[in-house]
Structures are given as C-alpha cells and as structure tokens.
Structure 1
Amino acid sequence: MRRSGAPSLIISLFVLCGIFLSACGTTTPATNNNGGGSTPAPKTVTLVTDIGGLNDQSFNQSANVGYTKAQNELKFRRQVIESKSQNDYVSNLTRAAQTSDMVIGVGFLMATAMDQVAKANPTKSFALIDSCATDAKGNCDPLKNVAPLSFKEQQAGCLAGVVAGQMELLGKSKLTKLSGNNTIAAVGGLAIPPVDHYLAGYQYCAKKVNPAVTVKINYSQSFDNTAKCQDIANNQISSGKADIIFQVAGGCGVGALQAAKAKGVYSIGVDSDQSKVNDSVITSAIKRVDQAVYLTIKDFEANKFSPNPAPFDLTNDGVGLAGLSSSLPAEIKPVVDKYIADIKSGAITVPDAVQK
C-alpha cells in the first residue's frame, strides 16, 4: 500500500503543475490581432525640453503636444525631462538615453550636448529640434543616429512681416491704434539661427511690402526671463514709437506680449498660436514643432528613422501663419496669401540673416 501511494503523489503533482503552468515558470507570449505570433512592445521615446520648460506657451509646449499625440497613439511609456539650466543638458540627455530607445531634444542650445551623448550611445536614436549635433568647434557632426529637425522659420517670419508692414501701409485711417510713426519692432531671445531666421524674414518682408517702414530689433539674451522681454518691449513702444511687437523669445517673449497689451499696441506671437495667451496678439508666426516631433516618432516606431530628414517649410505645412484677428482690415489677407503662393513657387526667396 505504501509503495502504490508514491506514484499517485507524483502524478498528482504533474497534474497540478499543468493546471498552474504559469506558476511553474512558463509565460505565454503576447499575440497580435491576427493570431500570427507575438506583438513587440512599442519602442520607448523620451522628450528632453530646453530651459523654457513645458509651460513656455511656445516651442517646448508645442513639442510636448506632438510627443503626447504620438504617445497616446502608439502607447509607449511617457517620459519627459525638463531642463532647468544649460548645465542640465548632458545629464538629462544621458538619463533619457539610458531609459529609452529614442531621445528628442528641444532646442538649438543643446546641440553640443547632443553630439556628446549620441556618440556615447551609438545604439540609441536621437532627434534634435532646430539644429544638427555639433562638435566642440561648432561644426555639424553628421552622426548616423541623430536626426536634425530643421525649419525655414524665415518663411513664417516673412508672413508676420507682411501683416505688420501692410498694417503700417494702411495707416491710422484703417487702424486707429497706430501711432502714425510707421515703426514696428521685434524682441528676440538669443541671437541663434532659429531666432535670427524669424527676425530676418520679418524684417525683409515688412520692408518689401512697405519700403518706408522702420523695423527695430532687440535681443533679451534670455528665453525664460519674462521681465527682460517686457522691459525691452516697453522701451520699443515708449521710446521707439513701435506700433507692433513681434516676440521671438519663447517664454521670455510672453513679457513682450504683456507690454503690448498694457501699452495698447498690437503684438505677434511665435511658434504656436498665441492669441489665447494675450488678446493683443493679431496673429502668430507658426513653427510646427508638434508635427515634426509626432512624425519623427511615428517614423522611428515604423523603423523609418533617417539622419537626413527634409526641412519643414511652407510646402509641407512645417511653418505658417496663424489666423488673422477679426480686428484687422480685410485687405491684409489677400496680400499674405500672395506671399504664401510666391514663396511656395520660388518666386520669392526669403533670406535667413538679419540686415544690420
């Protein structure tokens, strides 16, 4: 009797292990909807912001919109790292590379840090908004794992300049808030290529529409100090007699919009439609950072990553102009539309350098 009980016990254990197979160390692979095998987990992507942060109401926020859209659609784990200073770039990009398959850096200022981290992590993919990865001498480093996401900001800046120049051309008879001094202004952050591209287009096309207009340009040397931009804009309005303020300074530029509202003049936003930020905004020069981030992540997930993406411009909806305020005369929109058509056709080539 005792010998016959042992085999029964062994058989019972096998049966129990079969019932609780997963508890015995075996896992069942996930299957796809077609029942044709396992579904790979989505690749992970981390967004690293510039110092303006997610609430800059400008390009960092726009980048997050595109990132969030892709994350919701593709269901990868969300990870966003906000940089508080330029000293954070290398550590933030490194941390992102250690925990994800792709890293997207927001902004020209982290170009050298991106070069360093991408070289140290050759199996990871990177994308950088507004710049290529640059070496210590400031030269573009054509790394195979870094996609530079560039924009023709000068085209969007041109359209903002068309609006401002045409407003001054129409004068006080059409726009009673104008002072009659035929002067417009712009507040830039740092004198880096993306900022200067906007300003160059604004300056060039305002003068092309209205050769007599005066365009004043000043830099705040900041993308996050709202008070600096507010002070500059106040001076442009009070001393320079500017009627229209174009801000190209990220979160700092919100101060310029505030100054315009307080002084009762017009303003133009940047990167995203900023009419909801301040009701002095009559339009905004748009840079579709959200679209660039979204499409770059989509391509990466589809194994279509490219280190040589085409620039974003008017022809692919990468830049543009937000809707015009209803307070503006109807004569302005046809002029803007004509410039859009001429830029797309190549009849007008907008310069990307500010004329001193």
Structure 2
Amino acid sequence: MRKSGAPSLLISLFVLCGVLLSACGGSTPSTNTNGGGSTTAPKSVTLVTDIGGLNDQSFNQSANVGYMKAQGELKFRRQVIESKSQNDYVSNLTRAAQTSDMVIGVGFLMATAMDQVAKANPTKSFALIDSCATDAKGNCDSLKNVAPLFFKEQQAGCLAGVVAGQMEKLGKAKSSKLLGNNTIAAIGGLAIPPVDHYIAGYQYCAKKVDPAVTVKVNYSQSFDNTAKCQDIANNQISTAKADVIFQVAGGCGVGALQAAKAKGVYSIGVDSDQSHVNDSVIASAIKRVDQAVYLTVKDFEAGKFSATPAPFDLTNDGVGLAGLSATVPAEVKPVVDKYIADIKSGAITVPDAVQK
C-alpha cells in the first residue's frame, strides 16, 4: 500500500496544477461593453445641436432621442453640446472633436463649420444631419471622415399636403373649422434646402389633390423665436383665411401651432409627431432624425462608418406622416396611403423646389 502512495500523490499534484493553470492561464469570459462581444471600450460620441436647442420639440429633440438610445445600448460616455448662436458652431464642434471619437452635428446651418473642423481633425469621424460639409463658397467637400445624413423631406411634406388638400376638397361639410376660402399655409424658419423640401412637397401634393387650393408660404427667419411664428400664423389665418398651418420652423413653429389652436383652425407639425402640443395638430410630417442618429452611431461603434450613407426616405421609413387625428375625415387616409404607395413605386416623384 505504501508503494502506491507516491504515484497517487503525483497524479493529484498534476490534477491540481492543471486546475490552477486553467484558472490562471486559460481564456476568460469576454465582457461585451459595446454590443459586439469585444472587450474594447466603446468609442465616445458627442452630439452638437443647432440653435434650436434640445427642447425645440422637433428637430434637435429628435436627434437627442436617437443619440440617447444609442448611448443607452452601447454605454459610451454621454456628451451633448447645445449651440446658442451660429457663432458657436466652430468652437462647439472643435471642443467635441477634441474630447470624442465621433461628432454628430445637427443641422444644415453648421455645414461650413463642420467642413473647417473635420479638415482640422482628420483622424476623427463626423456626421452632419441635412447637409454635406461645405467650403466657404458653399460647395460640398467629399471628406472621407464626414457622413452627410440626407432626408427626402419633400415626400413627408407631400403627405402633409395630401391631408390639407383633401380636407379642402371635401369641404366644410366634412371639416367644420374650414373658413371657406380654400386656402392653406406653410411657415418656414429659413429658406434652406431641408425646409424648402418640406414646403415644396406640401405645395405640390396639396395642388395635385385639389388644383383649386391656394398655398400661402412665409418665412420667420428664425428657428427659435416662438412669437415670430405665432404672429405670421395669426396673419395667415386672419388675412388669407388659411384653414391649415404647416409649420417648418422648429421651436419657432410651435408658436404657429399655438396660433392655430387659438384661432380655431387646423395645423400640421414637423420633424416629429407634434400632436402633443395641442389638439389643433391633425398630423405631422416627420423625418426620422432619431433613427438616422441611432443607426449612424451604431454603425460607427461596429466599425462600419461610411462617408456615403444612403438617403432616408419613405422606402426605408426615414420620413413619413404621424399622428393622423380623429378630426381628419375618414376619406383622407386612403388618399394618403395611395400617395405613399405611388411615391414608393416611383409613380410619383415629388419636387424639392418651392414654387414662388
């Protein structure tokens, strides 16, 4: 019995050694910090708003929703910088680039600032909603580190125009608040491409549905002065007898929705579902800024950054119509659905230039 003790002891030692080696030198479970099964920490991403701010109930707020969704899933460090004036764009984008791996700029107005900062920081990645990075002459620079996120807003504007035009066509018997002048209106913030695309689609499809309708268009020259849009809407309603006010002016446009409520007419929101603002809002022409931001950040974290992303439109749910109110006659929705189908199939091509 004593002869077998040494081999047994050796075997026990080998087993113990194997356990220890396995524990110390074997593979350890990976910690999935960024959704990709990798131990690599997520890259940092900063969102820089335009002058409308995070509480515009529209464009910037929607961008932040997408950003927060991505941040919640991927666990990168959160940093949001709000621009108070256009003079802040270069400094805010520069600060963001210095402290993060990717910078998302919200809005067409920072296109030139984005161009300047992206060129100065070629190792950092950028995305710009509604525009390419542009030089001082307004020409697009095809920079390898900037992803322009474009939308076909004219398609969403078209659907808003279908709602307004069909209500005018059906008349007061179906929509009791109509003032009887067969007129609708739109208020833009500034005459920049994303705003004009919405208005162009609104004009085109409202007249396509009801050729006799008049479409009044005004600009507030602001995206944040609520009083300006309220004053313009009041004039459109009182002077032109506009029945439907389509706001395309961000936070300023909330004033237009308030004017519609006060004057007892209808209104249409923009960028996100604005039916929560008040019950004058019968629909909202939306573009999924939240989805664009979310997908762009997710692709970046997965190493799939692209400087040539596909535009967001009806075919990929990048734009659309939301919040169709019970106030809208039942006969309107089938017409909206027909236009959606025709746009997707290519039977209707919606123009993006405002008719003067």
Q: TM-score, normalised by structure 1?
A: 0.90
- Give distance in 1, aligned partners of 2:261 and 2:113: 38
Structure 1 counterpart of 2:337: 337
- Give distance in 2, aligned partners of 1:327 and 1:354: 28
Aligned-residue offset at 1:283: 0.2
Structure 2 counterpart of 1:32: 30
**8 A Cα contact 1:153 1:198, kept in partner:** yes
Matched, 1:215 2:215: yes
Aligned-residue offset at 1:323: 2.9
- Give distance in 2, aligned partners of 1:331 and 1:257: 24
**8 A Cα contact 1:31 1:39, kept in partner:** no
| Pair 316,179 (structure 1): closer, same or farther in 2 beyond 3 Å | same
Structure 2 counterpart of 1:87: 87
Structure 2 counterpart of 1:314: 314
Structure 1 counterpart of 2:64: 64
- Give distance in 1, aligned partners of 2:260 and 2:299: 41
**8 A Cα contact 2:134 2:140, kept in partner:** yes
- RMSD over aligned CA atoms reads 1.3
Structure 1 counterpart of 2:256: 256
Structure 1 counterpart of 2:111: 111
Amino acid at match of 1:32: S
Matched, 1:46 2:43: no
Amino acid at match of 1:336: V
Deviations 1:230-270, CA, capped at 9 Å, x for gaps = 00000000001000000000000000000000000000000
Aligned-residue offset at 1:278: 1.8
- Give distance in 1, aligned partners of 2:216 and 2:61: 28
- Give distance in 1, aligned partners of 2:215 and 2:340: 21
Deviations 1:195-233, CA, capped at 9 Å, x for gaps = 000000000000000000000000000000000000000
Aligned-residue offset at 1:180: 1.1
Aligned-residue offset at 1:327: 1.3
- Give distance in 2, aligned partners of 1:264 and 1:152: 31
- Give distance in 2, aligned partners of 1:38 and 1:305: 18
Aligned-residue offset at 1:31: 5.8
- Give distance in 1, aligned partners of 2:31 and 2:234: 60
Counterpart mapping for 1:1-356 below 5 A: 32-33=30-31, 39-356=39-356
| Pair 240,30 (structure 1): closer, same or farther in 2 beyond 3 Å | farther
- Give distance in 1, aligned partners of 2:301 and 2:279: 40
- Give distance in 1, aligned partners of 2:219 and 2:208: 23
Deviations 1:77-97, CA, capped at 9 Å, x for gaps = 000000000000000000000
Amino acid at match of 2:337: D
Structure 1 counterpart of 2:9: none
Unaligned runs of 5+ in 2: 1-26
**8 A Cα contact 2:112 2:136, kept in partner:** yes
- Give distance in 1, aligned partners of 2:329 and 2:264: 18
Flag as ranges the 4+ runs of structure 1 deviating above 4 A: none
Aligned-residue offset at 1:279: 1.4
- Give distance in 1, aligned partners of 2:129 and 2:28: 35
| Pair 140,176 (structure 1): closer, same or farther in 2 beyond 3 Å | same
| Pair 137,100 (structure 1): closer, same or farther in 2 beyond 3 Å | same
**8 A Cα contact 2:275 2:323, kept in partner:** no
Amino acid at match of 2:159: L
Percent identity between the two aligned chains = 90
Deviations 1:285-312, CA, capped at 9 Å, x for gaps = 0000000000000000000000000000
**8 A Cα contact 1:168 1:213, kept in partner:** yes
Amino acid at match of 2:238: S
Aligned-residue offset at 1:32: 1.2
**8 A Cα contact 2:53 2:82, kept in partner:** yes
Q: TM-score, normalised by structure 2?
A: 0.90
Amino acid at match of 1:117: V
- Give distance in 2, aligned partners of 1:259 and 1:163: 19
**8 A Cα contact 2:31 2:38, kept in partner:** no
Amino acid at match of 2:242: A
State the number of aligned residues. 326
- Give distance in 1, aligned partners of 2:49 and 2:240: 34
- Give distance in 2, aligned partners of 1:309 and 1:229: 34
